[in-house]
Amino acid sequence: MGNIFKKLGVGLAVGGVLVGIARSQSVPADFQVLFLVIALIGAIIFMLLDAQPIGAMSGGKSLVSVVVFWVLLITVYVVGPSLLPQFNPEDEKAKIGKLLEKERKNSAQGKADELIARVKALDAQVKALEDRLKGVGGGQVAATPPAGEKPPAAASASAGDFMKVGEEQWQLQECYNCHKLRGEGGKKRGPELDNIGALLTVDEIQEKIGNPKSFMAEGYEKEWQKGIMPNKFKDLMDPKEMQALAAWLGTFKNASVNTPKPIKKN
Amino acid sequence: MKKLSSGLLALMVLFSLCVAAVTNVYAQEVGASSVEFPYTGNRTAVWIVAQLHILFAAFILGAPIFVVISEWLGYRKQDPRYDRLAREITKVTVILFSMTAVTGGFFVFVLLAAYPQFTTSFINQFYVVFAIIYPALFIAETILMYAYLYTWDVWKGEKKGRHIALGVVLNLVCLLILFVINGPTSFMNTPPKAEGVSPQDFIAAASLWDKIANQSWFPLSLHRIDGNVAFGGFIAGMIAAYMYMAAKTQEERAYYDWMGFAAIWIAVGGSLLQPFTGLLLAYEMCDYDFSFCPYMMADQLSMFFEMQGVMIGLLFLGINYYSWLSVKRIEGAENVRMTILAPIVLVVLLPATMWVMNKYWIPDPMSLAFLLPLALSPFLFGRFIPMTVSARTVIKIGFIVMLASDAVWLTPAGFVATGTDMPDELKLPEGWDFLSSMPAKLSAILTLVFVTVVNYVLYNRTIKQGTILWGKIDFVSQFVLIFLAFTSTWIMGLMGAVRSLLKKYFHAYSLVSDLSAESFTPTLSYSAGWITAITVFFIAIVSLAVLVALRPSVSRAREPEGSAVPVAAK
């Protein structure tokens, strides 16, 4: 028992010192807990190292001990991972839903779903027509614009939509995992892009996305960095989406951010 | 009997799930995409059966490697214990061999039921493998496996060499199977590609060899070879623990104590290589498509890797604790000493490696120029330094270093589910962030491996200088053996899930999209639940196989000669 208290005391003292140092340096609380837990695991290990040996058990007693040990392991291995932060699949589902939207529509199942949706829509229209006919009131019919006539704001709205498509592609293709933009994302894997619009034309940005080796940013020319940008985006985006992404990136002309100069390679 | 009934019940549940799904498939209209597996959903149903199949396959491919090594050692040393170990593990392997076939069949059924269109096109891609090569090799393996078991008594004495040669041929076929089936498996992660050609066009023109020899095929195969050896060793260790606990005589206890020791030695050999072949696999996958890297380490799967760090840390602590308990029962262990350079290098290694890795990142040869002399110095220069410390002190210092390495390994950039969504208040502050870097993680792995190597050198030295009291090991060690088997199985499940999830929303990466509603990254909590369930099911079946193949009445009936084993041996 003395062994246990002594080791526990040392473990708590070591953990306390680690937590104290971490707290004084403004290390977040989660890390402080991690350091304390490891110090306590250390205490348990040293308790076990110096524990008195256990003699052989009888068959029945062994069986019960093994079952209890299994239950303990199962509990720890189910509960332990649940204590860590959990990724919310709903965030990803929405993204993947958008990425696969076209393919899903084109699939056999997608086409069937679309037909069902159309039938339902037609059904609803028929019902609406029936209601209107029953009412026989001309004033009740909503005024619809003649075919081919677009609302006046349509042109600017479509430009805005185009930029939205570009921004959406930035999110969907997870470009932020490697590139910092507007102070968000990036881990220095790729260059910061806040001034890319001042350094490359929209066409050149599009060329870089489609063929990553066409331009190399200054400071990113080491051999292992050359193939780091995946050469897959032209297969994952259609030309319009890629154009939209390039156009959206082309609007970033913030000279205060040090976006490295891209150099034409091939 | 209780285990038997629970195992059968689980099998029946699994079977009924499959039957329910397959029945639904035939009830569908032509052209419909798939069925819905009750309760689990399609993806999890495929995951459960595939993971179970891989676990059984890993054991039956890994066990023959150390079985034949064990048989050869027994022949060379004229020690009957090795031969008995090899034979007992072969008996269990033969039973688990049929489980591999059963789960393999289930796997095909479930895959066809859940994803009929993808499965059909995938089989078409590899029809020569699935229709000819794999079945032919599997049949050859079956014949060789049974021939190996049933010629044990016939080919003994002068004919023993013939039997060992048969074992070697069996292993060659096992290795071939592993390499062949890893072709389609790795293809799903890294299908071959070329610049300027769409993935679909490239695959349409690619030969079978191009598809098999994709970028992650060889590293995956290497990782699975040493993984299977380690896994086989840990499972054999658990078998030894069960038999030790059930042993009625001191002679039996002595034998199974020795068996646990031998199995863990082999498992450690495989485990020490695992981090390096695993890194090679990760390196090749990131080289194939760099977006795998942030997805694994910083984004959706980051906490899966946090969990991997926890489990591997525990595995190494368990391995070294077992060796500590083994040393404790060696008479004269207290007199064994080691050069003072050993504990000095142990303490210095982690910070030194972190410094070197930050300065000269691998594969810069300068990193090796610094680290190799440092790591080898106790072995090269130790004899010239008269100061020594006791073996027990070195091992205890090793445990402190292991805990420090675990702490480094487990320190992420922030405790958040995705690195892309990390508020500053949860991030490691500047000055501490080096702890979350790749050089720090690599240094932690290297240090864990180094401590384990030093402990095993010490263990070996203690065995040579002292007397092992077989059968007298602390009973706690048997629980450590069970813990190691459970943990290594769990890690295989976790990393199997990671490898499969890396395909993201594709069945075959960038090639065939998974259009089902289940194509997303599940939570760690959900995954851990299923990984644990699969582990329990697997361990239960192995326990059942041990009960059937090695229960004392069977052993006594088949092995009346029962070789004498000394209680105390050097």
**pLDDT reported for residue A266:** 65
Q: Is residue B1 scored above 60 in pLDDT?
A: no
Q: Are strands B506-508 and B568-569 parallel, antiparallel or unpaired?
A: unpaired
Range among A106-115, A187-196, B2-11, B438-447 rated most confident: B438-447
Q: Which tokens hold the place of B483? A: 């813990």
DSSP H or E stretch at residue B536: helix B524-550
Alpha helices in B438-523 (DSSP H): 438-465, 476-501
Cβ–Cβ under 8 Å, residues B266 and B86: no
Identify the band that residue B387 occupies on the pLDDT scale cut at 50, 70 and 90.
very high
Residues A257, A164 share a domain: yes
- State whether residue A24 sits within 8 Å of chain B by CB: no
Q: Which tokens hold the place of B16? A: 């009924």
A·B CB contacts under 8 A: 189
Whether A116 is covered by a domain: the verdict is yes
| A200: three-class secondary structure by DSSP | coil
Whether A142 is covered by a domain: the verdict is no
Mean pLDDT across chain A: 84
Whether A106 is covered by a domain: the verdict is yes
Query: Poorest-confidence range of A239-243, B379-383, B566-570?
Result: B566-570
Q: Is residue B441 scored above 80 in pLDDT?
A: yes
**pLDDT reported for residue B563:** 42
Q: Using CA of residue A143, residue A147, residue A153, residue A154, what is the dihedral sign?
A: positive
Query: Poorest-confidence range of A108-112, B248-252, B284-288?
Result: A108-112
Residues 6+ apart with CB under 8 A from B563: B80, B81, B84
The torsion defined by the Cα of B407, B413, B418 and B421, in degrees rounded to 10, comes to: 150
Mean pLDDT of A240-251: 93
Residues A259, A190 share a domain: yes
Give A-chain residues touching B528 at CB under 8 angstroms. Answer: 77-78, 80-82
Q: Is residue B379 scored above 60 in pLDDT?
A: yes
Identify the band that residue A162 occupies on the pLDDT scale cut at 50, 70 and 90.
confident
**pLDDT reported for residue B143:** 94
The whole-angstrom distance between B293's CA and the closest CA on chain A is 10
**pLDDT reported for residue A261:** 86
Give B-chain residues touching A100 at CB under 8 angstroms. Answer: 505, 513, 515, 519
pLDDT in tens, B159-206: 999 999 999 999 999 999 999 999 999 999 999 998 878 888 999 999
Cβ–Cβ under 8 Å, residues B228 and B181: no
Residue B38 carries which DSSP code?
T
**pLDDT reported for residue A146:** 47
**pLDDT reported for residue A91:** 83
**pLDDT reported for residue A79:** 96
Identify the band that residue B25 occupies on the pLDDT scale cut at 50, 70 and 90.
very low
Whether A188 is covered by a domain: the verdict is yes
Q: C-alpha distances in angstroms, B246 versus B537, B541, B548, B561, B564? A: 22, 18, 14, 20, 19
Identify the band that residue B49 occupies on the pLDDT scale cut at 50, 70 and 90.
very high
Q: How many residues in total does chain B contain?
A: 570
DSSP H or E stretch at residue B506: strand B506-508
Mean pLDDT of B364-390: 89
Mean pLDDT of B461-487: 93
Whether A138 is covered by a domain: the verdict is no
Q: Is residue A263 scored above 90 in pLDDT?
A: no
CATH assignment of the domain containing A198: 1.10.760.10
Identify the band that residue B128 occupies on the pLDDT scale cut at 50, 70 and 90.
very high
Lateral strand order in the sheet of B568-569: B330-331, B467-469, B568-569
Tell me which residues of chain B, numbers 30 to 49, contact chain A at a CB-CB cutoff of 8 Å. Answer: 31-33
Mean pLDDT across chain B: 87
Q: Is residue B420 scored above 90 in pLDDT?
A: no
Please give the distance of CA B312 from its chain centroid, rounded to a whole number: 11
- State whether residue B515 sits within 8 Å of chain A by CB: yes
Tell me which residues of chain A, numbers 127 to 156, contact chain B at a CB-CB cutoff of 8 Å. Answer: none
Q: Is residue B238 scored above 90 in pLDDT?
A: yes
pLDDT in tens, B84-115: 999 999 999 999 999 999 999 999 999 999 99
- Nearest to residue B465, comparing CAs of B322, B336, B316? B336
**pLDDT reported for residue B21:** 45
Q: Is residue A184 scored above 90 in pLDDT?
A: no
**pLDDT reported for residue A232:** 85
**B317, B407, B428: residue with CB nearest A45:** B317
Identify the band that residue A136 occupies on the pLDDT scale cut at 50, 70 and 90.
low
Q: C-alpha distances in angstroms, B229 versus A260, B218, B223, B318, B411? A: 49, 17, 10, 18, 30
Q: Is residue A148 scored above 60 in pLDDT?
A: no
Give A-chain residues touching B416 at CB under 8 angstroms. Answer: 85
**A25, A54, A89: residue with CB nearest B523:** A89
Q: Is residue B439 scored above 70 in pLDDT?
A: yes
Query: Poorest-confidence range of A15-29, B13-27, B172-186, B507-521?
Result: B13-27
**pLDDT reported for residue A153:** 52
Mean pLDDT of B116-144: 93
Q: Is residue B3 scored above 80 in pLDDT?
A: no
Q: Is residue B338 scored above 50 in pLDDT?
A: yes
Cβ–Cβ under 8 Å, residues B398 and B320: yes
Which residue does chain A place closest to B292, by CA atoms? A230
- State whether residue A171 sits within 8 Å of chain B by CB: no
Cβ–Cβ under 8 Å, residues B428 and A32: no
Q: Is residue B453 scored above 60 in pLDDT?
A: yes
Cβ–Cβ under 8 Å, residues B414 and B428: yes
**pLDDT reported for residue B8:** 43
**pLDDT reported for residue B555:** 53
Cβ–Cβ under 8 Å, residues B17 and B40: yes
Of all residues in chain B, the percent with pLDDT exceeding 90 is 64
**pLDDT reported for residue B17:** 46
Three-state SS sequence of B251-319: HHHHHHHHHHHHHHHHHHHHHHHHHHHHHHHHHHHHHHCCCHHHHHHCCCCHHHHHHHHHHHHHHHHHH
Residues A190, A113 share a domain: no
**A54, A84, A227: residue with CB nearest B474:** A54
pLDDT in tens, A220-243: 766 666 668 888 888 889 889 999
Residues A201, A113 share a domain: no
**pLDDT reported for residue A143:** 44
- State whether residue B536 sits within 8 Å of chain A by CB: yes
What is the domain extent for residue A108? 90-127
Give B-chain residues touching A57 at CB under 8 angstroms. Answer: 245, 475
- State whether residue B16 sits within 8 Å of chain A by CB: no
Q: What angle do CA B191, B194, B196 make, to 5 degrees?
A: 135
Q: Is residue A80 scored above 80 in pLDDT?
A: yes
Residue A90 CB-density burial (10 A; 0-12 exposed, 13-18 middle, 19+ buried): exposed
> Do the Cβ atoms of A25 and B432 come within 8 Å?
yes
Q: Into how many domains does chain A fold?
A: 3
Three-state SS sequence of B414-462: ECCCCHHHCCHHHECCCCCHHHHCHHHHHHHHHHHHHHHHHHHHHHHHH
- Nearest to residue B193, comparing CAs of B182, B205, B203, B179? B203
ipTM: 0.86
* Amino acid sitting at position B145: M
Residues 6+ apart with CB under 8 A from B276: none
Q: Is residue A264 scored above 90 in pLDDT?
A: no
**Is the whole-model pTM more than 0.90?**
no
Mean pLDDT of B383-391: 90
Among A10, A14, A18, A31, the residue to mutate for chain B (most B Cβ within 10 A)? A31
Q: C-alpha distances in angstroms, B51 versus B14, B120, B282, B489, B553? A: 13, 21, 20, 10, 33
Q: Is residue B28 scored above 80 in pLDDT?
A: no
Q: Is residue B257 scored above 50 in pLDDT?
A: yes
**pLDDT reported for residue B225:** 94
User: What CA–CA distance (Å, rounded) separates B92 from A183?
Assistant: 59
pLDDT in tens, A31-69: 999 999 999 999 999 999 999 998 888 878 899 999 999
